[in-house]
Amino acid sequence: MLGVMVRKRRFAAGAAFAISVVSLTPFTAHAAALEVTLSTGTDPGGLGLLGLRAVAPVVSQDSTVSEYSYDFGDGTTLTCDETAQPPLPAQCQPSMTDTTALLDASHVYAHPGVYLVKITVKDADGESAGASATFTTAGSAYTPYGPTRLLDTRKGTGVAKAAPVAAGGVVRLKIAGNGSIPGNVTAVVLNVTAVSPTRNGLVSVYPDGKARPGVSNLNYNAGQTIANSVIVPVVDGSVDLANTSGGSVELVADVMGYFSQTAASGYTPLTPARVLDTRYGTGVARGALPAGKTLSLTVAGADKGRLPATGVKAVVLNLTVADATGNGFLAAYPDGKGGTDTSNVNFRAGDVRAANVVVPVGADGKIDIVNGGGTGSAQVIADVEGYYSASGANSYVPFAPTRVIDTRANGGDYGQCVLLDQAQLPGVPENVTAVIANMTVTETQSSGWLAEVPATETTGTGPAPANFGCTELDPTTSDLNWAGAGVTVANLDVAQPATDGQMAFYINDSHGNPPELIVDVFGYFGQNDIPDRI
């Protein structure tokens, strides 16, 4: 449960006033607009796991506040009216912590996230004033799971009967209580695959019962089999998968882990580094992975020791297949627990295809990667982006899906890289260490690749300024690959900003004609009072 407490005081008729928002359990503070500040506190009200206290301080004793109205940002409102006949609403109670305050107003959130709290104050003379503050709840910790298949519309797994999802159709997928996933799950990591679509389209994955967001997670063409990972909040124990297409599509979803506000693992981001490349013998012996074969990659102590030798529960990788000689898929598992009943990245002969994966790490510090489902070999590449462990300091906080970059809006003339300033993200505090972004390229002119890298000494969001040296970024890893013209493809990225909050999306197009770029953001990792770790 997430709590809010709002203290009210007196103010002068018609005067402006400030509101300070205080967490009832510790979380990192940041400044908000309209003279609203955030700071830490304790839980005197016993509101549950997390709480917020918004304080409207005394400005003058010339006029008495008669009514406070609250909009807590989750569809819930509250009015505390001193002139009303008792009893007052249960959330309006005499202050327990401040004798100068008149009343405390409390609220319990149902789900973690970022909320805009609005307060309107009215005095006895009928004058009113308002202010708002963005409140970020404590985050959720991660538990690796499986991987396990939860949904396969071809076989009736996770649905009432086997059937493709019709045009405009929505699948409600149960998460809480599915297998050993607990009832208090707050978000889930899924690998979602579109199979045998009859027309071009896209898939959006979002909390059950919420409005479908205006962003996408997975794009597909008719006849294509393609996958992408998602990190999606769980509401009422379920998530929804919507087929936004004029045709039908089979949908498959494999769970890789989940988040909850209980003791588990925190996230540690790393500067992206290549830990596996079968083309050059990086991480394993040189040579393509044959069909039906498995390679084992040692994660513990990898990346020149930047990955700990012990304690890594799961690793975040960008997994890429190249030079495939036939159709197939790659599947990543904890070492010794492999199989071919789930998948991470699907490919055709000649493809270069990437997928972000979160792989549970075996007790021996290794993971396995299987080339399954086909007859051809493939080169396998993996770039590490971070890991989960008991000592990880960063927890996950979702926010409303938001489109922050769309180069189609400015004619697509952006050169070699596009910048994103952390300040443009909705409700993200200064302590953010990684941003959950879905990157999509479309209208490609030739083959190429994209890498998200921290960018320093830049300002703003959009095309890089003329004096910004895109070529100086020189990334040695990649996040998204495409082969040829006319491609639309997406990939999830746990994007790491520079210390000044800047990120650059670096485009390497083989013919110097960069595609259109779309970036949607869904949440972040930060030091937001992670639950006690195991």
The CATH number of whichever domain residue 338 belongs to comes to: 2.60.120
Question: Which residues are within 8 A (CB) of 502 and not within 5 positions of it... i.e. 6 or more apart?
Answer: 419, 420, 421, 422, 454, 455, 456, 458, 459
Residue 39 has a pLDDT of: 31
Note whether 73 and 82 are within 8 A (CB): no
Assess whether pLDDT exceeds 60 at residue 384: yes
Separation CA 501–CA 523 (nearest Å): 15
- What's the average model confidence in pLDDT over 433-451? 93
Note whether 452 and 495 are within 8 A (CB): yes
Separation CA 192–CA 232 (nearest Å): 11
Which of 68, 103, 136 is the C-terminal boundary of a domain?
A: 136
Domain that holds residue 317: 266-389
In this structure, the answer to whether residues 363 and 408 fall within a common structural domain is no
Separation CA 399–CA 389 (nearest Å): 23
Higher-pLDDT residue of 350 and 281 is 281
Quick one: pLDDT band at residue 17, thresholds 50, 70, 90?
very low
Assess whether pLDDT exceeds 90 at residue 477: yes
Residue 70 has a pLDDT of: 83
Residue 518 has a pLDDT of: 94
Assess whether pLDDT exceeds 50 at residue 468: yes
Assess whether pLDDT exceeds 50 at residue 481: yes
Residue 104 has a pLDDT of: 62
- Give whichever of 283-287, 414-418, 523-527 has the largest mean pLDDT: 283-287
Q: How many helices (H) and strands (E) does the chain have?
A: 0, 35
Assess whether pLDDT exceeds 50 at residue 18: no
Coil, helix or strand at residue 404? strand
Question: Which residues are within 8 A (CB) of 512 and not within 5 positions of it... i.e. 6 or more apart?
Answer: none
In this structure, the answer to whether residues 531 and 410 fall within a common structural domain is yes
Coil, helix or strand at residue 148? strand
Separation CA 312–CA 309 (nearest Å): 8
Note whether 246 and 201 are within 8 A (CB): yes
Higher-pLDDT residue of 348 and 14 is 348
Residue 318 has a pLDDT of: 97
User: What six digits make up the tokens of 478?
Assistant: 């990649």
In this structure, the answer to whether residues 238 and 319 fall within a common structural domain is no
87 preceded by cis ω (within 30°)? Answer: yes
In this structure, the answer to whether residues 384 and 422 fall within a common structural domain is no
Sort strands 218-220 and 170-174 into parallel, antiparallel or unpaired.
unpaired
Lowest-confidence segment of 66-75, 94-103, 164-173 by average pLDDT: 94-103
- What's the average model confidence in pLDDT over 419-425? 84
In this structure, the answer to whether residues 409 and 489 fall within a common structural domain is yes
Separation CA 357–CA 144 (nearest Å): 12
Assess whether pLDDT exceeds 50 at residue 8: no
Residue carrying structure tokens 């102590």: 301
Nearest-CA neighbor of 432 among 359, 521, 347, 350?
521
In this structure, the answer to whether residues 54 and 129 fall within a common structural domain is yes
Residue 422 has a pLDDT of: 84
- What's the average model confidence in pLDDT over 207-216? 93
Separation CA 437–CA 502 (nearest Å): 14
User: What six digits make up the tokens of 350?
Assistant: 């000649």
In this structure, the answer to whether residues 236 and 279 fall within a common structural domain is no
Assess whether pLDDT exceeds 60 at residue 100: no
Total domains, the chain: 4
What is the edge-to-edge ordering of all strands in the sheet holding 480-482?
462-463, 417-421, 502-509, 448-454, 480-482
Could you say which DSSP state residue 408 is in? G
In this structure, the answer to whether residues 93 and 151 fall within a common structural domain is no
pLDDT digits (tens, 9 = 90+) for 304-322: 999 999 999 999 999 999 9
In this structure, the answer to whether residues 417 and 518 fall within a common structural domain is yes
In this structure, the answer to whether residues 381 and 357 fall within a common structural domain is yes
Q: Which helix (H) or strand (E) holds 491?
A: strand 489-495
In this structure, the answer to whether residues 220 and 166 fall within a common structural domain is yes
Residue 417 has a pLDDT of: 83
Separation CA 104–CA 440 (nearest Å): 46
Quick one: pLDDT band at residue 465, thresholds 50, 70, 90?
low
| Cα 82 off chain centre by | 42
Assess whether pLDDT exceeds 70 at residue 63: no
pLDDT digits (tens, 9 = 90+) for 119-161: 777 777 777 777 777 777 778 999 999 999 999 999 999 999 9
**Phi-psi bin for 365: left (phi > 0), alpha (psi -120 to 50), beta?**
left
Quick one: pLDDT band at residue 467, thresholds 50, 70, 90?
very low
Separation CA 78–CA 8 (nearest Å): 13
Nearest-CA neighbor of 494 among 307, 270, 276?
270
In this structure, the answer to whether residues 54 and 146 fall within a common structural domain is no
Residue 469 has a pLDDT of: 56
- Give whichever of 51-55, 82-86, 89-93, 238-242 has the largest mean pLDDT: 238-242
Which of 73, 101, 136 is the C-terminal boundary of a domain?
A: 136
> How far is residue 86 from each of residues 5, 67, 103, 384, measured CA to CA in Å?
20, 14, 14, 60
Higher-pLDDT residue of 192 and 135 is 192
Separation CA 528–CA 534 (nearest Å): 17
Quick one: pLDDT band at residue 246, thresholds 50, 70, 90?
very high
Residue 37 has a pLDDT of: 32
Residue 3 has a pLDDT of: 46
Task: Sort 57 into a burial class: Cβ within 10 Å, 0-12 / 13-18 / 19+.
Answer: middle
User: What six digits make up the tokens of 120?
Assistant: 């309107």
Higher-pLDDT residue of 250 and 42 is 250
Question: Which residues are within 8 A (CB) of 75 and not within 5 positions of it... i.e. 6 or more apart?
Answer: none
Quick one: pLDDT band at residue 531, thresholds 50, 70, 90?
very low
Q: Which amino acid is at 532?
A: D
147 preceded by cis ω (within 30°)? Answer: yes
Which of 230, 262, 294 is the C-terminal boundary of a domain?
A: 262
Q: What is the CATH number of the domain that holds 116?
A: 2.60.40.10
Lowest-confidence segment of 100-109, 194-203, 371-380, 497-506 by average pLDDT: 100-109
Note whether 210 and 376 are within 8 A (CB): no
Separation CA 340–CA 373 (nearest Å): 8
Residue 263 has a pLDDT of: 74
Residue 14 has a pLDDT of: 34
- What's the average model confidence in pLDDT over 500-506? 86
User: What six digits make up the tokens of 435?
Assistant: 């941003």
